[in-house]
Amino acid sequence: MDLQTLETIEPSWTHCEVMLQHSSRTTGDYWINSAIRLSNDSGEVRYLFPGHGSKQEGAQMLASLQALGFDQIGSRLNQEWEHISMQRATRASNPESQAVSHLGHTRSPMTEHLKPLTILHSNDMHGDFLTDSEKEKGKLIGGMALLSGYLNDVRRTEPNVLFLIAGDMLQGSLIDAEHQGISTVEIMNYLAPDAVSLGNHELDYGLRHLLFLEKMANFPIVNANLYIKPHHKRLMRPYLVIEIAGLQVLLIGVITQEVLETLAMESDIATFIGLEDVRAEVARVCNAYNREDIDLTILLTHIGYQSDVALAEMLDPALGVDLIIGGHSHTILDRPTEINGILIAQAGVGTDQIGRFDLLVDETTNSIRSWKWQLIPIQSDLAEMDHELEQFIQSYADDVERKFSQMLCRMPQPLSHPQREQETALGNLVADILAERAMVDVMLVGSGSLRVKEFGPLVTLRSLMEMYPYGEPLYKVSVTGEQLQHIFAHWMRPENRVAGESECFQVNAGVQASYVDGKGLQSLIAAGQPVEPSRLYSLCVQEYHWKNSQTSLGLSESELTEHGGPRVVATSSQDVLEEFFASHQNITADLEGRLRWNE
C-alpha cells in the first residue's frame, strides 16, 4: 500500500471516503485493493489509489488521514468493500499553515479543470446471457443480469460513468440465434450502453436485419468505415460526442476485415478495411470533429488486439486519440498497452468480466492526467443480481428450452475444441460427418464455425445448435492437386494463425498436412495418398468460405470452378449434423495428426 499518495491531499478537500476491498479468495489480514474519494463543498471530486496491503497498513492510512484533520463519521459494508466516511474539521485561517502537510511537503491547490471519469467496457459478449454457478464456492458468475447489477452499482456510486461495447453483441447463444438478435438487443436495452461499435457478428443475420436491429436499439451504434457504394454514404453514424459533467468525449467506431467477408453477398456495401484505410478514416473523423472543446477521444474498434497495436503506431499524435477500446481477438490483458501515447484495452470475451478505467481528465489540456485500469470479475460477491432483467432473460430461456430440449444422442466422452489454430477432436468429428455427406476427398470446416470449447457427452438439439449455429449450404468443386497444395499453404501459413484473429480449418479423415514456418507446406495427403499436382480432387467448403474464397483459400471463385462446379450438396449443413447425431449413438473422435505445424 503506497501511503505516500496521502502527501498529495490538499487542504481544500473537506470530505473523504476510504474504500478497502477484501476477498474470500485471500487468506489472512490483507486488503486486495483500496481507493480514496476526496470531495469538497464545491462538488469537485478527486481519486487516489494507494493499492493493496495489510490490514495494519490500512489502519496506518486511516491514522494518517486523521492526522490531516479528517474525523471518521461513519462506515458501511457493501459486498466485499468496506466504506469509511470521513470529514475534515474546520481548518486554521492561516493559509501558510494550510500549505504544508503533516509530512512536511508543500501542497498546491487542486485545480478546477480536473474531472473524474469511469469507463466500463465490454466486447465480444456473444449472447452470454445466463449466469453460471460455482457450487463449491457458493458463487454466481457472469451473465447479463449480474453484469447489470454491477453496472447499476457503479452508476450509483460514481459521479461520471460511461459504458461502452466494442462489437459482437450477437451470436454464440441459442437465445440469440432463435430470435436473430432481437432478444439480444432487447436485453442490451436494459444494460443501456452509452455507445456500441459494430462487430463482424452483427452482420450474421444480413445487412437488412442489422438495420432493423439498429432501429430497435435504444443506444447509439457507431461505425466510420462501412459505406453504401453507389452514394459513398456511411452506413452508420461514424462518431458520437457525449457530454458528461462538462467533459466532451468523442467516440469513433471501426471494424475488421471479416465484415468485408460477411458482406460478400451485399453488393451495395463497401468498407475501407486495411489498417492504412482505417487510419485514414480515423484521421478524417478526428480532423472534422475533434474540436478544441473535445476533452477525450476514444476509438471503439473490432479489429483484434494486434491490429489495435499496429493502428496506434500509425496514428499521428496530433489527432488526439487517447484510448483504443477493442474487441474481436478475445484478448485478456494484465494492464493496458500504451503505444504512441494511446492506451489500448480489451476485456476478453463474454460477461464473466468487464474492463474498468478510472480516469482523471484535464479539461485544459484535453488529456488524461492519471488513470487506473482493472479487469473486474462479475461475481455474486461483488455485484447484486438485477432480478427484473433476470426474469426477462429467463422468459427467453424457457421458450428455447421447451423447443430445443430434444435429446439426439449420447457420446462416451465430451469432445474438445480449445482453439481454432490446431487440430481438435470436435473438429475432426464435424469434418468427417460433412465429408461423408458430401462424398469428397477433402472437407474444410472453418474452425471458427464451431462455437464451443467442449461438446457432449449428452447431445441435445440445443447443444448442437449452440455448437454449430450456422445453417449455411455446402459447396462442392473439383480442383487440381496443385490448387489443393496452394490452398493448404495459404491457410496454414503463420500470418493466418494469430490467435482469435484468423480463420483456420478442420479436415476430414484421409487428409494429412504438414507445414513448417519459413519453409512452407512440406507434405499433403488426400484420400489417404500423397497429393499429385495434376490429379483432380473433390473439395467441399461452407458457403461463407466459398463466398470469400480469395481470402479464405487464396483462390478466386473462377479459379475454383475451372474443373467443375460448384454444386450445392446440402442447403443446410446444420441439418446434416442434426440428422447424423439423431441416428448414431456412442460417437467418438480423437486427435490423429491430421494437421501438423513445425514438426
Query: pLDDT: is 382 or 573 the higher one?
Result: 573
DSSP string covering 45-56: EEEE----EEHH
pLDDT at position 24 over 70: no
Q: Which residues on neighbouring strands pair with residue 17, listed in sequence order? A: 37, 85
Q: Is 391 exposed, middle or buried (0-12, 13-18, 19+ CB in 10 A)?
A: exposed
DSSP string covering 169-197: -SSSSHHHHHTTTHHHHHHHHHH--SEEE
- Bond into 566 cis (ω within 30): yes
Amino acid at the residue 213: L
CA-based diameter of the chain, in Å? 96
Q: What is the pLDDT of residues 39-89, one digit of tens each?
A: 887 767 777 877 666 777 777 788 888 878 888 877 766 555 677 878 876
pLDDT > 90 fraction of the chain, expressed in percent and rounded: 55
Distance, in Å, from the CA atom of 331 to the CA atom of 325, rounded to the nearest integer, reads 11
- The pTM for the full model equals 0.64
Nearest in space to 399 (alpha carbons), one of 462, 330, 493 = 462
Q: Specify whether the CB–CB gap between 514 and 522 falls below 8 A.
A: yes
Mean pLDDT of the 493-517 span: 90
C-alpha atoms less than 13 angstroms from C-alpha of 485 in its C-beta half-sphere: 16
pLDDT at position 133 over 90: no
pLDDT (0 to 100) of residue 60: 78
Q: What is the mean pLDDT of the chain?
A: 85
**Phi/psi of residue 201, nearest 5 degrees:** -75, -10
pLDDT (0 to 100) of residue 447: 94
pLDDT (0 to 100) of residue 101: 25
Q: Specify whether the CB–CB gap between 212 and 205 falls below 8 A.
A: no
DSSP state, residue 379? B
| 485 CB-near residues (< 8 Å, 6+ apart) | 521, 524, 531, 533
DSSP state, residue 309? H
pLDDT (0 to 100) of residue 92: 33
Lowest mean pLDDT among 14-18, 121-125, 297-301, 500-504: 500-504
**Phi/psi of residue 302, nearest 5 degrees:** -140, 65
Distance, in Å, from the CA atom of 255 to the CA atom of 274, rounded to the nearest integer, reads 10
Q: What is the pLDDT of residues 527-577, one digit of tens each?
A: 999 999 999 999 999 998 998 899 899 999 999 999 988 999 999 999 999
Helical H segments across 179-274, by residue range: 182-191, 207-216, 257-262
Say what the alpha-carbon torsion angle 465, 471, 475, 481 is, to the nearest 10 degrees: -30
Q: What is the pLDDT of residues 139-150, one digit of tens each?
A: 778 899 999 999
Query: pLDDT: is 224 or 529 the higher one?
Result: 529
pLDDT at position 580 over 50: yes
Distance, in Å, from the CA atom of 472 to the CA atom of 568, rounded to the nearest integer, reads 10
Q: Which residues on neighbouring strands pair with residue 455, listed in sequence order? A: 415
Amino acid at the residue 263: L
pLDDT (0 to 100) of residue 17: 82
Percentages (nearest 5) of helix, strand, coil residues in the chain: 30, 30, 40
Confidence of residue 409 (pLDDT cuts 50, 70, 90): very high
pLDDT (0 to 100) of residue 128: 87
Lowest mean pLDDT among 268-277, 522-531, 576-585: 268-277
Distance, in Å, from the CA atom of 84 to the CA atom of 258, rounded to the nearest integer, reads 49
Lowest mean pLDDT among 170-179, 375-384, 578-587: 170-179
- Sign of the CA dihedral running 538, 542, 547, 548: negative
Query: pLDDT: is 127 or 230 the higher one?
Result: 127
pLDDT (0 to 100) of residue 491: 96
Confidence of residue 272 (pLDDT cuts 50, 70, 90): low
pLDDT (0 to 100) of residue 2: 60
Mean pLDDT of the 307-316 span: 92
Exposure class string for 115-149: b at 16+ Cβ within 10 A, else e: bbbbbbbbbbbbbbbbbeeeeeeebbbbbbbbbbb
pLDDT (0 to 100) of residue 570: 95
CATH architecture, range 3-98: 2-Layer Sandwich (3.30)
pLDDT at position 108 over 70: no
Q: What is the pLDDT of residues 312-341, one digit of tens each?
A: 999 999 899 999 999 998 999 999 999 999
Distance, in Å, from the CA atom of 103 to the CA atom of 106, rounded to the nearest integer, reads 9
Say what the alpha-carbon torsion angle 264, 265, 270, 274 is, to the nearest 10 degrees: -10
Helix axes 387-404, 182-191, angle to 10 degrees: 170
Nearest in space to 115 (alpha carbons), one of 43, 63, 54 = 43
Distance, in Å, from the CA atom of 47 to the CA atom of 463, rounded to the nearest integer, reads 47
- What's the CATH number for 405-597? 3.90.780.10
| 326 CB-near residues (< 8 Å, 6+ apart) | 123, 166, 300, 301, 302, 303, 304, 305, 308, 344, 345, 346
Where along the chain do its domains lie? 3-98, 114-396, 405-597
DSSP state, residue 483? H
Neighbours of 322 (CB within 10 A): 21
pLDDT at position 136 over 80: no
pLDDT at position 95 over 50: no
Query: Options 3.90.1170.50, 3.30.70.270, 3.40.50.300, 3.60.21.10; which CATH number does 114-396 get?
Result: 3.60.21.10
Nearest in space to 421 (alpha carbons), one of 449, 448, 452 = 448
Confidence of residue 352 (pLDDT cuts 50, 70, 90): very high
pLDDT at position 275 over 60: yes
Same fold, 3-98 and 114-396: no
Q: How many residues does the chain have?
A: 599
Exposure class string for 530-569: b at 16+ Cβ within 10 A, else e: ebeeeeebbbbbbbbbbbbbebbbbbebebbbeeebbeeb
SS3 355: strand
Nearest in space to 11 (alpha carbons), one of 104, 74, 101 = 101
Distance, in Å, from the CA atom of 562 to the CA atom of 532, rounded to the nearest integer, reads 17
pLDDT (0 to 100) of residue 87: 82
